[in-house]
Structure 1
């Protein structure tokens, strides 16, 4: 195998030498051998492991433990247990595919709820308190308060100041709940709702997955469908890297 210095690895991946040392400290790569002068010696196996680690960490997916599972894959591979790493990667891909399915299903549910709001007559006499609404939707009062504070809906008030929720409010809240259960961010849901208020014919799937260019901070859940697909592609790449390293280590 070829051998490399710390600076060679840093240059190869366009990272700082301290980042290379951090990968070692965090056990994201195999422990490199050291020369008598203390210099680290990296091999082609380290190079392939770096490729795996950087791909697995590329997408910041936090929901349902996906980030931790990605780190577990990296550390297991770095420890040389390639069979276990391959198994963990398969489970990771399976979970990401479930997340993608949930995200797509939430969009379909949104379409159906919006359609029912357009076709079903509005019962103006139907009003629920915040407590009853939370119970009906199986969410907490704090969740409703959080959605309202983040501008996802505006609730009506009685003369005594008490909030009341209409049938249309419940449909809107069902949409929000469905999308939040699928891990869409509050900002992406608000972006979609605002777009629909301007143009009811807005492409929901496109708008909820496309952050505005002037957004200061964009998280993975602000472009959930794209991020999940990227996470799957990176995991498939990681699976390929594991097979490469298995062959290099002579375990197959």
Structure 2
């Protein structure tokens, strides 16, 4: 059986031998046999694990990648693939949210709502009804610094404008996504400054990043299939 020294694997993958030991300690790669001198003896299967791990990191992250490779070691291909599928589904929803945001920013006016009249100033109850949000959610976004309504000088009530309505519609679109956490405040601030072009640029940059991660995930899946071939888990129907 052909074996590789740690230095040979490290050179092949352009990483350090200490990185190999870390991956092994995480349980992401099977423990190798040892030579008479105590040195690790890696095989072609180990090389496939290391290649897969390095390819999956950018698109899937360390935690998911390690969980996938531990499942492969247990010959549990279905669990491994469903973990991958879940991450791809999450990325798909981020892309859909970003596309919706760009579409909203391209709109010259707020979308029409039957039987609802957009007022110059609205209370929190009125803006919640208009946008289909809850008052508690709007208060939370205000606390996070994403919304900053004025206050009525007489009674201290919040006063929301059509600009706030546009913001809330954007926030509702993205609130459950990673994309929201990374980019929403900057986009909303751009809208607040009447800089829709800047908000579009931010959104387009986020979409580009999502595209890049999608390509990284596809490369990771390719190496996962190659690992399944090397470990005898593929083809799946034989």
Normalising by structure 2, what TM-score?
0.74
Q: CA 1:127–1:199 in 2, change beyond 3 Å: closer, same or farther?
A: closer
Match of 1:43 in 2: 43
Distance in 2 between the 1:187 and 1:250 partners? 40
CA change 1:48–1:153 in 2 (3 A) is same
After TM superposition, list the pairs within 5 Å mapping 1:26-37 onto structure 2.
Answer: 26-37=26-37
Structure 1 residue 235 corresponds to structure 2 residue 235: no
> For residues 163 and 45 of structure 1, do their structure 2 counterparts lie closer, same or farther at Cα, with a shift above 3 Å needed?
farther
- 1:13-53 per-residue CA deviation (whole Å, 9 max, x = no partner) reads 33332221111111111221112332111122222212211
Cα distance in 2 for partners of 1:94, 1:85 equals 15
Give how far 1:160 is off.
5.4
Task: Provide structure 2 residue ranges, at least 5 long, that are not aligned to the other structure.
Answer: none
- State the Cα RMSD in Å: 3.5
1:23 aligns with 2:23: yes
Give the unaligned 5+ runs of structure 1: 62-66, 211-222
Partners in 1 of 2:170 and 2:178 — Cα distance? 13
Does the C-alpha gap of structure 1 residues 133 and 209 become closer, same or farther in structure 2, counting only changes over 3 Å? Answer: same
CA shift for structure 1 position 170: 2.7
Q: What's the CA shift for 1:133? A: 5.6
Deviations 1:191-216 (A, max 9, x none): 3345453544x275432243xxxxxx
How far apart are 1:73 and its partner, in Å? Answer: 1.8
Q: How many residues align?
A: 226
Quote the residue 1:5 is aligned against.
Answer: 5
CA gap of 1:77–1:37, structure 2 versus 1, over 3 A, is: same
User: Does the residue aligned with 1:57 lie in a helix, a strand or coil?
Assistant: helix
Map of 1:214 onto structure 2: none
**Partner-residue secondary structure (3-state), 2:179:** coil
What is the TM-score when the length of structure 1 is the normalising length? Answer: 0.70
Using the TM superposition, give the Cα deviation of residue 84 of structure 1 relative to its aligned residue in structure 2, in angstroms.
Answer: 4.4
Whole-Å Cα distance in 2 between the matches of residues 92 and 117 of structure 1?
32
Decide whether the 8 Å contact of 1:3 with 1:41 is kept in 2: yes
Matches of 1:232 and 1:184, distance apart in 2: 14
Aligned to 1:64: none
CA distance in 1, matches of 2:14, 2:105: 43
